[in-house]
Amino acid sequence: MTKKVRFTMYNYPIERTAIVTGAASARGIGRDLARRLLKAGWHVGAVDLDATDTSDITIDIDDAALRLSTARADISKEEDVEEAARHFERNLPPVLAVVNVAGISDPTPFLQTSLDRWERVLRVNLTGTFLMTRRFVPGMIERGVGRIVSLSSTAAQSGGGTYSAAAYGASKAGIEGMTRALAIEIASTGVTANAIAPAIIDTDIMGGRIDEERLPYFTSRLPVGRLGRVDEVSALIEFLIGPDAGYITGATYNINGGARIG
Catalytic residue list = 168
> Could you give the C-alpha distances from 165 to 2, 65, 112, 200, in angstroms and in order?
45, 39, 11, 14
Print the SS3 string covering 151-209.
Answer: ECCCHHHHCCECCECHHHHHHHHHHHHHHHHHHHHCHHHCEEEEEEEECCECCHHHCCC
Q: Are 233 and 29 in contact (CB under 8 A)?
A: yes
Buried residues in 198-231 as b, exposed as e (16+ CB within 10 A)? bbbbbbebbeeebeeeeeeebbeebeeeebbebe
Q: Where are the beta strands (DSSP E) in the chain?
A: 17-21, 43-48, 68-72, 95-100, 146-151, 191-198, 252-255
Classify residue 189 as left (phi > 0), alpha (psi -120 to 50) or beta.
Answer: alpha
Q: Of 240, 253, 33, 22, whose CA–CA distance to 156 is shortest? A: 253
